Structure 1
Amino acid sequence: MSAVRTVLGDIRPGELGVTDAHDHLFFRSPLLPGRELADASAAQAELAAFRAAGGRSIVQWTPYGLGRRAAGLPRLSRAAGVHVVCATGLHQAAHYDEESLAGLRGGLADVFVRELTKGIGPSGVRAGLVKVAGGFHALDAHARWTMGAAAEAHHATGAPVAVHLEMGTGALDVLDLLCGELEVPPHRVILGHLNRSPDSVVQRQAAESGCYLAFDGPSRAHHATDWRMPDAVRALAEGGFGHRLLLGGDTVVSGARSVDGGPGMPYLLRRVRLRLEAELGTDLVHRILTENPGRAFAVDWT
């Protein structure tokens, strides 16, 4: 039977409820010095605020080596009454030092499989997806290496593969590699940040492949996200792809948390949901927030 693998164990897809399909409770990278998501009390408060706004589940895309703090996630999940899905995987090379990457060469897929099936370190917390990343309009050797390992892990376990698209670009290159050369079924691939490069042709082509499209993260000045999102979602839904859409908040730095004065996780439900409902109707938005995540992240675990 298909199940979503949370930090407290496997649950039925229908138990997810309203879901933030891409966010972070913890995140640490040398690219963001001094802006780490590392405060457990702040993470707890953010989960509580998300729950108060009507949220029931979040999918944390923080991968291996970036401070995901897997051992502490079950306590936070229980305290807030929010399901949490944890990721394995590897981000772009710039987020790691060479020594860390060197230690993974030759066994990256094994790391992913172990974290999906046995657990992350001594915590026993099992990941529920593999997160990898492309580059800006291209796939470098690191991206191809990590996506190859992610494909191996998928074929061994069935786990979905979630992809950070740099500035929303490179979607079709990612699909050519993952779904073409590496034979990952398209419905097991989730593309993040397509909204940051609002090319309706590419969005439709990606949707036609059968993958999921995550519209994740509130607008920045150089991201045409919120104000174009209703039109993009409408076009995709009218094209028959409403069942392949996901929504997320993608909080990656401490100042972006609602408890620190930023939009944070509640923004997805407090503002984004309401705007989409006003323009697209409540039924479609409800399906995107509840039914679609259940399909995207549920796996017949092997």
Structure 2
Amino acid sequence: MSEVRTVLGDIRPEELGACDAHDHLFLRSPRLPGQELDDVPAARAELAAFRAAGGSAVVQWTPYGMGRRAADLPGLSRATGVRIVCATGLHQAAHYGPELLDGLRGGLAEVFVSELTEGIGTSGVRAGLIKVAGGFHGLDAHARWTMAAAAEAHHATGAPIAVHLELGTGALDVLDLLCGELGVPGHRVILGHLNRSPDPVTHRQAAESGCWLAFDGPSLAHHATDWRMPEAVLALVEGGYGDRVLLGGDTVVAGARSVNGGPGMPYLLRRVRPRLAAAVGAELVDRILTEHPGRAFAVDWA
């Protein structure tokens, strides 16, 4: 039976509830100096605010080597009542030092499989998805290396592969590699940040693969997110692909948290939900927030 792997154990997909399908409780990167998400009390407060807004689950896409704080996630889940799904995987090379990347050469897929099946470090927390990243309108050698390892880990475990699309671009290149060359079924791939490149032709072509299309990161400055997102989702619905959509918040810096005056996780339910419901109907939005994440992240764990 397919189950979603949370930090407190595997659950049935229907138990997930209203889910923020792409966000971060903890994250560190040399590209974001001084803006780290590394505060446990702040993470707890953000989860509590999300819970108060009606949220039930959060999928943290923070991958290997970027400060996931996996050992803190079970306690946060218990304290707030919010289910948490944790990621393995590897981001773009710019987020790491060369020493870390050199240490992973020749064994990246094994790291992913170990974190999915045995646990992350000594935390005992098992990851529930693999997160990798493309580049701007293309795939460099690093992206191809990480995606090949992700595909190998998928074939060993069944875990879904979530992909950061740089500024929402490169979706079809990612699908050509993962689903074409590497044999990953389309429904096991989640494309993130499609809201940042609101191209209905590309969205429809990507949806034809059977992949999941995530509209995540609402209210980020300089992105055509809030006001273009409803029409982009409506176009997918009218094309017959409304059953492939996911929604997420993608909070990546401390100042974006609701407890620090930003939109944060609650914004997804407080503002995005009614805005999208006005375009495609409340019933579909409810399914996008509950049923769709359960299907996207559920696995017959190998």
TM-score by length of 2: 0.99
Deviations 1:74-116 (A, max 9, x none): 0000000000000000000000000000000000000000000
Distance 1:165 1:247 in 2: 15
Shift of 1:201: 0.4
Unaligned 5+ runs, structure 1: none
CA contact (8 A) 2:219 2:263 kept: no
Distance 2:41 2:124 in 1: 22
Distance 2:165 2:266 in 1: 23
Distance 2:137 2:180 in 1: 18
Deviations 1:129-176 (A, max 9, x none): 000000000100000000000000000000000000000000000000
Deviations 1:173-229 (A, max 9, x none): 000000000000000000000110111100000011100000001133421111011
- Partner SS, residue 223 of structure 2: coil
Shift of 1:34: 0.3
The amino acid across from 1:102 in the alignment is D
TM-score by length of 1: 0.99
Aligned to 1:138: 138
Aligned to 2:290: 290
Does residue 92 (structure 1) correspond to residue 87 (structure 2)? The answer is: no
Does residue 263 (structure 1) correspond to residue 263 (structure 2)? The answer is: yes
Aligned to 2:23: 23
Aligned pair count reads 302
Moved beyond 4 Å, runs of 4+: none
Aligned to 1:53: 53
- Aligned residue runs from structure 1 range 1-302, under 5 A: 1-302=1-302
Shift of 1:71: 0.3
Shift of 1:31: 0.3
* Root-mean-square deviation over aligned CA pairs: 0.6
- Partner SS, residue 123 of structure 1: coil
Unaligned 5+ runs, structure 2: none
The amino acid across from 1:213 in the alignment is L
Shift of 1:274: 1.1
Identity %: 81
Shift of 1:278: 2.1
